[in-house]
Structure 1
Amino acid sequence: METQYRRYDIDWLRVIAIGLLLIYHIAIVFQPWGMFIGFIQSPEPIEGLWKPMTMLNIWRIPLLFFVSGMGVFFAMRKRNIKELLWERTRRILVPLIFGAVAIVPIHIFIWQKFYLQDFRYMPGRGHLWFLMNIFIYVLVLSPLFSVLQKNAKNSLKKMLSKVLGNPFGLLLIAGPFMLETILIKPNPYELYAMTWHGFALGFLSFFFGYCFVMVGDIFWKTIYKYRFVNLLIALFLYGMRLYVFNLKAPGYLMALESIIWIYAILAFAYKYLNKPGKILTYLSKGAYPVYILHMIFLYLGSLIILPLALNVFVKLLTIIVFSFTGCFASYELIRRTKILRPLFGLK
């Protein structure tokens, strides 16, 4: 699949990753440590949710950074560096600033109400730390990307084409991610928000996401050819992490597992999801506002539903439905309101 065409599988991966993010955050509400990382916590935990969550938690955020880097490659086919920076300022920095002063404080108010604390206005990045990282990566890397984009036969592309043309080259790309854990020593590995580990891992993922699309068919054909091998390796590494290391594997092994998962996910999406459709068009445009808003409806749903005399699994399902419904109902309002659209990253 040549890179001059729109890659619908990458659009689908962005949508799926945002959906998983919302479900993952809802699951944290039902963990016995949720309050300690700023979530409203259910008095009745569902600790059995944690094992499937651990399968997701080492690749779901890196995947979003990879996809974001890929998106910059496609964006720069139609824009020079000034146009890219202006477009990303409108679509990332403006929603970040608005969210920091108007969205994050709302879900903090709800948290304060649930725990009977005094109300305090507390602006900040909160869950929007991801946007800050992406904007910094664009600022730092766009000059390099501009040079690479102008020279279709650049040296980096030639080198990576050779590396990514075989499975051992794929493993070589995992090296910088493994080295990052050795140097930074993240504890736990899965803590990305507002940490140096999250920043460095995101930077690497964003950079290589761009490079994978720049290399083109060579990369996609390699990961497709070895998709089942990568899936089996990822499952094996997860099994080791779960049963041998009790989910506390060395950071370099978790980094390797994360990259292998991402190779497998990219390959299966390349095969099965590279198709347009009305559902994708709707969800792709709605993913950004849903990401910005989801913590408000997650916290509001928790505030309303957790005190009810319901089975804990019914509470979980009800909060999921409440959160998704609230997010998409708000999106319907936002996309129809001209003044709100740019505040949520819409054109």
Structure 2
Amino acid sequence: MSSATIALARSPRRHDLDWIRVAAFFLLILYHVGMLYVSWDFHVKSPRIVEAIQPVMMLTNPWRLTLLFLVSGAATRFLADSFAARGGRPGARLAGSRLLRLLPALVFGMLVIVPPQSYFEVWHALEDMGVAEPAASPLLQDFWVRYATGSGGWCDADGCLTTPTWNHQWFIAYLLPYGLIVAALIAFAGPLIRMAEGGLETALSGWGLLVWPVVWFALLRFTLAPLFEITHALTDDWYNHALSFSAYLFGFLTARSERLKTAYIGLRRPALVLAVLSWAGWATYAWIYRADGAVPSDALRDAMRVVYAVDQWAFMAAILGYGARYLTHGGPALRYLSVGVFPFYIVHQTVIIVAAHFLMPLSLPVALEALVIVGVTFAGCFMVYEFARRLGWLGLVLGIRPPTGKPD
């Protein structure tokens, strides 16, 4: 291993990226609570839809998960460098680490965490069809066995519920192959990684940091997005893969770049202005054409593809710039939360759906109901995290491994 690689491995971790990762996961909890109350599809819906919050939801819609993939790629870089600093085969160690951290959580999530979501999804579908006592319906008898064996037969006019499923844990299902691909690149294409890092630093100098990522996102919107609807099914999700893996790889390749960190800081204000303007344009467009029969012209649709791409990257660049400028300190809170956000992610959507199912019949004021669900969700996430920390190696099923003093 070269001395340059060792120097990189010993450089300090980026606290700003850790804080952004924590904030992005917390924001996701709020977003999924909001999904109960907008007209978009979700597993369980409130009978009281509040369309007015949809533009607010669109504030994060184009970029929140892409940002999570970017910071996850950056976290993978720090992990890979820590393996490299210890010698041996960092690519193989990274592959083993990703399998150990992600596969048990994914399998456990699909078989234990996600089934309540599907159960209440079927429950509410039965209610919508006029079934007075959904719990007594034959469709919900022996639910877990039917869920695990894919024999539920849960179909309606919109299609069938395929099980077992990973629902929101598709993010984990995608992180696993992405991490293994990067591990293979480390093992077999180290010089290519170094060339890509240098090429990105050169291409993204100055205003290129704002221009070229927008060009990439716009290219994806014009080419793959019209052909491949986002499915979260792994095997046929090509637009989503091109978007998410490119962000993950970008985060991996740029996480150590002080030059780009400085560029983000310098461009944070114009990036924020672009972000707000593009969000206003996209949200207005989506609001005007939200009805099924409202069809925009081809020219307007093409223009909005560009606006959407600007929205995607400008918000991410602004967040990375302001984070690099102000989120410079670590500490016990960050260490605690940066580990905790993974179990938070694993369980949060199930807590949201279960809490909503039991709270909605109380007919609380909508704002109060939403606040209670948010509070219950965060409380449930912290409880699961504390529980997982005490499980030793069994905590892997909830995204926690016992501390070893070594990278994981």
Q: Distance in 2 between matches of 1:145 and 1:208?
A: 15
Partners of 2:288 and 2:93 lie apart in 1 by 44
Give, in whole Å, the separation in 2 of the partners of 1:210 and 1:247: 38
Distance in structure 2 (CA, Å) of the matches to 1:94 and 1:134: 13
TM-score of the superposed pair, with normalisation by structure 2: 0.78
- Quickly say closer, same or farther: Cα 1:164–1:192, change in 2 above 3 A: farther
**Measured at CA, do residues 242 and 188 of structure 1 come closer, stay the same or move farther in structure 2, by a change above 3 Å?**
farther
Which residue does the alignment assign to 1:28?
35
Structure 2 counterpart SS, 1:44? coil
For 2:115 and 2:286, the matched residues in 1 are separated by: 39
Q: Tell me the SS of whatever aligns to 1:307.
A: helix
1:235 corresponds to which residue? 276
- The match for 1:93 is 103
Matches within 5 A, 1:203-282: 203-214=245-256, 216-243=257-284, 246=287, 250-282=304-336
Confirm or deny: 8 A CA contact 2:109 2:166 kept in the other structure: yes
Of 336, 348, 358, the residue aligned with 1:304 is: 358
Shift of 1:159: 1.9
State the 1:111 CA deviation.
Answer: 2.8
Q: 1:67 corresponds to which residue?
A: 71
Q: 1:159 — aligned with what? A: 199
What is the TM-score with the length of structure 1 in the denominator? Answer: 0.90
* Structure 1, unpaired ranges of 5+: none
Q: Which amino acid aligns with 1:160?
A: L
Query: Within 1, Cα distance between the matches of 2:288 and 2:200?
Result: 33
**Deviation per residue, 1:238-282 (Å, 9 max, x gap):** 122233564776334312320111011001111111211222122
Letter matched to residue 309 of structure 2 = A
**C-alpha distance after superposition, 1:170-189 (max 9, x if no partner):** 31133222211111125998
Amino acid at match of 1:10: L
**In 2, Cα distance between the equivalents of 1:62 and 1:39?**
22
Among residues 217, 239, 249, which one is paired with 1:197 in the alignment? 239
Once the two structures are TM-superposed, the CA of residue 150 in structure 1 deviates from its matched residue by 6.6
Q: Quote the Cα distance in structure 2 between the aligned partners of 1:18 and 1:161.
A: 28
**Kept in 2: contact 1:70–1:206 (CA 8 A):** yes
Q: Which moved more, 1:116-125 or 1:277-286?
A: 116-125
Alignment of 1:277-292 (within 5 A): 277-292=331-346
What's the CA shift string for 1:73-115, capped at 9, x where partnerless? 1111122111000000011122111111221112212333344
2:374 is paired with a residue of what secondary structure? helix
User: Within 2, Cα distance between the matches of 1:201 and 1:96?
Assistant: 22
Measure, in 2, the Cα distance between the counterparts of 1:98 and 1:236. Answer: 42
How has the CA–CA distance of structure 1 residues 23 and 32 changed in structure 2, closer, same or farther, with 3 Å as cutoff? same
Match of 2:368 in 1: 314
State the partner residue of 2:150: none
The DSSP-based 3-state class of the residue aligned with 1:230 is helix
Matching residue of 2:221 = 181
What residue is the counterpart of 1:6 in the other structure?
13
Q: 1:169 to 1:284 in 2, by over 3 A?
A: closer
The verdict on how the C-alpha distance between 1:167 and 1:306 changes in structure 2, with shifts beyond 3 A counting, is same
1: CA distance between counterparts of 2:250 and 2:204? 11
Identical pairs, percent: 27
Larger Rg: 1 or 2?
A: 2
Contact 2:281 2:307 survives alignment (8 Å): no
**The one of 98, 110, 113 aligned to 1:103:** 113
Question: Is the Cα–Cα contact under 8 Å of residues 70 and 248 in structure 2 kept in the other structure?
Answer: yes
Aligned length: 340
- Counterpart-to-counterpart distance in 2, 1:222 and 1:72: 22
**Which residue in the other structure is 1:168 paired with?**
208
Residue 54 of structure 1 pairs with residue 71 of structure 2: no
User: Counterpart of 1:83?
Assistant: 93
Question: Does the C-alpha gap of structure 1 residues 146 and 72 become closer, same or farther in structure 2, counting only changes over 3 Å?
Answer: farther
Output the CA distance in 2 between the equivalents of 1:200 and 1:151: 19
Once the two structures are superposed, residues 284-341 of structure 1 have per-residue CA deviations (whole angstroms, 9 ceiling, x without a partner) of: 1111111001122111111111010311111111111111111211221111122531
Contact kept, 8 Å, 1:9 with 1:274, in 2: the verdict is yes
- Code of the aligned partner of 1:83: R
| Equivalent residues of 1:164, 1:218 under 8 A apart | no
SS in 2 for 1:166: coil
Give 3-state SS (helix, strand or coil) of 2:341's partner. Answer: helix
Over the aligned positions, Cα root-mean-square deviation in angstroms equals: 2.3
Return the alpha-carbon distance in structure 2 between the equivalents of residues 14 and 253 of structure 1: 25
- Work out whether residues 355 and 376 of structure 2, in 8 Å CA contact, stay in contact via their aligned partners in 1: yes
**Residue 338 of structure 1, aligned match among 392, 404, 407:** 392
